[in-house]
Structure 1
Amino acid sequence: MTIHAHRSSWRFATGKLLICLLTLMPMISAAAAESGWREYRSAHFIVRSDAKPKAARLLVRDLEWYRHVVGRITNIDFSNDETPPLRIWAWKTTREYIRATKAYGTGGFYNMGLDGPYAMMSIEPAERPLELDGRQVILHEYTHHIIHQFSPIQYPRWYDEGMAEFLSTMKFKDKGLVVIGGPIGRAAVLRDFDWVPFRDLMESKGQYMRQHRVSMRDPRRARPAISLQYAEGWITAHYLMTHPERRKQIQTYLSLMNRPDVRDEDAFKQAFLTDYKGLQKDVRKYFWSMKLPTLGMRITDLPKVKIKERKLSDEESGFQNIEGMLVAGDYSDSGKDNRDRIIALYEAGVRPKDMAYYLARIAIAEEDDDDDAKAHAKEADKWIAAFSKAGGSPAIAAYLKGLRELTAIFGDKAGFAKATQPKDPERLAVLRRQLKQGMRADPTDPRPHYLYALSFAFTDERPDRQAMASIGIVRDRLPDFPRGAIVEAILRAHNGDRQGALDQLNVLARWAFSAGARNRYQKIAKRIEEMPESASAGKSASKG
């Protein structure tokens, strides 16, 4: 009887368990359907995310709307926008983002390369005011992309970062209402630490500030200047944007700052009708009033956002942490460590064109290993052929061949500070013909154009018409690509416009983000200055 009673109880419990499981099955199925990675494509963004689809779709919508509103605020014309879509990897938690990227202390980052713009971020919202918010970080970084991609002028670092911080607080309400200017964690820095004097802040140009004088009154109130550069940039942009009269003065200030014949302090006084101390006093008073107003506007023509959604397979989902790092250019480490896994994906038919591209880039990155250079070159050729066989663009195939050929022709020491003679001029001529074929296949892809122009910048040859046209295409397609501007300056000098080249490098040096970058620009300028007058028009280009 005891055993029978026990079995009855067990059957009863099992019945309850089955009922519970049947009840939970729809919930489990829904959760499973939402798990894994998805790809979301809109007009200007490609987002890969393992977050819940609703959150990911909302991010894509907000990015499209943000682009529209920032364009409206800054008077940017997007009608001729030919920029490739921004590719974003959006992890559902900050912990996963950090584990994948190793970008400690950040909530996201953005960069522009020859393959186009990309960004990595966490989609996890901040729970407390001082925490990083993934959405806000990516809006901040995308502001840089918009401003630098579509504006011909240089921006002071305080304004560049401050305006990005201000605009990144943008929220979309009902009926087209847009609200900007909410509080951010930067306020705590301004509250707890001594401020950088506005003279230092404003005259830092494009450089990130690394040092700040320690307060003798209380050393504990000193903080690395870069934190204050962001914080003071934010509150200054907040103050200027929420005061209509001050808002009008911003464009005057930026225009004057971009004139080499106007001193920084004079530009400031002419635009804001006060001196550094005067405006800093006004901004400090504005901050300590603790009544930071928001800027509200109603946008009646927010675009309808169409999103194409694709669920990634288990194999592709498991590859996303690695793929994000490959797109960010980490072919030497992430690529080398995961080569076998990428080969397995290629052989399994998972996006074979992309996998072949990655494998070719990994092999090219490893060619600087002298012991195995020939083996890596053979491996690169194998995967370039596989890329073409999988339907890859002839322009990109030419670019891949160019990457490995330039190293073979000029060596891995070639740079911009001095001319390098090709080891094999005939091989260089063949490469240039191949790059031209790639350009003809897709005239809009900047990659073969850049390598063609680069093949002249390394040398002391006079660039041909195609090289000058190619660097113009790179400038138009990727205006925020720094190496493109350097190559353009060198080609201008070789083409006879030495003063124009020096002026261009001087602008780059004046607005450099660091002392090291400024030093590199100055070394390139020295190369151009030391060219004999007859050489500034360059030697005749080899036939190609």
Structure 2
Amino acid sequence: MMVRVALRRMAFILSMVWVAAAPARAEWREASSPNFLVYADQSEGDIREFTDMLERYRSAMRYIYKLPEEATSPSNRLTVFVVRDANQVRKLMGTNNRYVLGFYQSRAGGSVAFVPRVDDNSQSDRVSQGEQILLHEYAHHFMFSVFAGSPPLWLQEGFAEFYSTAKFDSAGGVGLGLPADHRAAELALAQEVPLDMLLSTRKYRENASKRYDAFYGRSWLLFHYLTFSEARAGQMADYLQRINAGEGEEAAATQAFGDLGVLDKELGAYMKRRRLTYLNLGASKIASAPIAIRMLGKGEAAILPVMMRSKRGVNEETATEVLADAQKVAAQYPDDAFVLSALAEAEFDAGNDEAAIAAADKAIAKNPQAVGAMIQKIYALFRKAGDDDALWPKVRAAISAANRIENDNPIPLAYFFRSYAAEGKKPPEMAVQGLRKALQLAPYDTGNRLTLADYFIRTGDKQAAETTLAPLLNHPHDTQLAELARKLLDRGSAQAEPSSADDSSS
């Protein structure tokens, strides 16, 4: 159902202050649902509402794109840490940038997000800025399930902006594609991005101003307009088909949209409308999801701040600091499998493979289902095997043990393939299929994508390599990654071309 709402005029918010009374004692809870794992120092009602919002958001997007419901392996769920405020988010990220209100990191078997808690309900059913950042990044994550090939940069950001402005009503419905109020000032005041530059990733990256420009706002505007314009119905689908067929971005835009000058004038008029359409999906279209909530034990609550820093990622200096904190908590709770799993990760990050294996083994002994500890054991054994080939059978035994507990966890599947490559052996077909499955389970994982593409190039399957690397060629946030993907393809092309000596031989 499409609904029209007023396009509110609002001032650009330069920063946000989160005011909350500090609780007398932290009461961390875990909310576990089919697709998300949420940790928050909030009431049961608040953490349930937040987790339900995420499940409804995922269900709504799958409904729009007619994707069937598929089970997510427990370890491949998105883990969300709801922290005290935006300052704590920035501290975890390692930045003083006051515009940072949340962030997201995607990887197979361990995607994580950090957002500030929301205690003010004045926004009603519209999401907070921190939540909106999470929804934006999750939309990028989701896009791998929808679009093949390498969508142009504007489409990637327009898609994410369009779906990030969601609302969730108390009856269970979801609204998608609401006006991007947070881009209003950008569209009005920021440096203009001409439409021909917007529609060409190459032109934009070569000519983008060092000043803050209206790229995100214009990308949202174009995506919104093409989604709802009756006069241009079908043009977005035609454009995507042309892109996927190999037409250049500029040619595809001209063929699908016609005169870009006309389209630009239409966008200008569309931006001035007082009312815009959005998608309103009733509760009957949204799949409900069970949510189990539990209070964390004392040991789990004590190690959680350490675990957050580990999941965020550490460097040589911070790894030592995190390990020291992990060891202190582990000394207090030596029999807690949750704590021991976190300790194993901290030991591995600090370069202590033997200690990581010992902590992982203790965790597994306490909880034979501790997949997280099994993964840390795989990592540590894998690194040790780099200096001792006799350890590769132990690496594969650890991989098999984890796979038996959770056979659709992408990490053991990927590391089974990598174990052969690291040992200098040709991976068996079963290992290749395992890596393919890992990428299917976590299509946003760039490491597995590059590994599989490299295998295809080495075995002479250039077409499979191109298909595998296509989503990276216009990566929205990492131009170096896009360049690496192009270099891999160029290497494959060079290998496929016969040399001059080959040309002259009989």
- The TM-score by the shorter chain falls in which range? 0.7 to 0.9
Distance change (3 Å), C-alpha of 1:189 and 1:394: closer
Q: Which amino acid aligns with 1:449?
A: L
Higher relative contact order (CA 8 A, sep 6+): 2
Residues 121 and 333 (structure 1 numbering): CA distance in 2 closer, same or farther, change over 3 Å?
A: farther
Partner of 1:281: 265
Query: Partner of 1:337 in structure 2?
Result: 321
CA positional deviation for 1:281: 2.1
**Percent same amino acid among aligned pairs?**
21
User: More displaced, 456-465 or 88-97?
Assistant: 456-465
Aligned CA distance change for structure 1 residues 78 and 424 (closer, same or farther; 3 Å) = same
State the shift of 1:483 in Å.
Answer: 1.0
Distance 1:39 1:429 in 2: 36
Taking the aligned partners of 2:366 and 2:147, their CA distance within structure 1 comes to 38
For the aligned residue pairs, the C-alpha RMSD in angstroms reads 3.6
**What residue number does 1:138 align with?**
134
Equivalent in 162, 165, 185 of residue 166 of structure 1 = 162
1:137 deviation in Å?
1.8
| Residue of structure 2 in register with 1:218 after alignment | none
Q: Determine the C-alpha separation between the residues in 2 that align with 1:265 and 1:246.
A: 18
**1: CA distance between counterparts of 2:267 and 2:244?**
24
Which one-letter code corresponds to 2:342 in the other structure? Y
Q: Check conservation: 1:450, 1:470, Cα contact below 8 A.
A: yes
Instruction: Please report the TM-score for the alignment, with normalisation by the length of structure 2.
Output: 0.80
Residues 240-389 of structure 1 aligned to structure 2 (within 5 Å): 240-246=226-232, 248-260=234-246, 262-272=247-257, 274-313=258-297, 316-330=300-314, 332-349=316-333, 352-367=336-351, 376-389=352-365
2:481 equivalent to 1:517:
yes
Task: Give the structure-1-normalised TM-score.
Answer: 0.75
Cα distance, 1:523 vs structure 2: 4.0
| Contact preservation (8 Å) 1:332, 1:362 | no
- Quote how far apart the aligned CAs of 1:323 are: 2.1
Pairs within 5 Å for 1:33-432? 36-79=27-70, 81-82=72-73, 84-103=76-95, 104=97, 105-124=99-118, 133-149=129-145, 151-173=147-169, 175=171, 178-180=174-176, 181-204=178-201, 209=205, 212-213=208-209, 223-225=211-213, 228-246=214-232, 248-260=234-246, 262-272=247-257, 274-313=258-297, 316-330=300-314, 332-349=316-333, 352-367=336-351, 376-393=352-369, 399-410=375-386, 424-428=388-392, 431-432=395-396
Aligned residues of 2:347 and 2:353 also touching (Cα < 8 A): yes
Write the mapping of 1:499-514 to structure 2, written as runs, cut at 5 A.
499-504=462-467, 507-508=470-471, 510-513=473-476, 514=478
Q: Deviations over 1:445-468 (max 9, x none)?
A: 221221221234457643212221
For residues 43-90 of structure 1, give each alpha carbon's deviation from its aligned partner in whole angstroms, at most 9, with x where no partner exists.
322211124544333222222221221112222222355473221111
Q: Which moved more, 1:525-534 or 1:301-310?
A: 525-534
Match for 2:201: what amino acid? S
1:90 aligned counterpart, secondary structure: strand
Q: Does the 8 Å contact 1:453/1:487 carry over to 2?
A: no
The secondary structure found in structure 2 opposite 1:389 is helix
Q: Residue 340 and residue 210 in structure 1: after superposition, are their counterparts in 2 closer, same or farther (change >3 A)?
A: farther
Q: CA deviation at 1:332?
A: 4.7
What runs of 5+ residues in structure 1 fail to find an aligned partner?
A: 1-30, 214-221, 368-375, 411-422, 535-544
Tell me the secondary structure at the aligned position of residue 30 of structure 2. strand
Aligned-partner Cα distance in 1 for 2:25–2:355: 39
How far is 1:109 from its partner? 1.7
Larger radius of gyration: 1
Superposed displacement of residue 304, structure 1: 3.9
Counterparts in 2 of 1:283 and 1:470: CA distance versus 1, 3 Å: same
5 Å-filtered alignment, 1:441-452, equals: 442-452=406-416
Deviation at 1:147, TM superposition (A): 2.2
Per the TM alignment, residue 141 of structure 1 is displaced from its structure 2 partner at its CA by 2.0
Q: Which residue identity is paired with 1:306?
A: P
User: How far apart in 1 are the matches of 2:166 and 2:157?
Assistant: 15
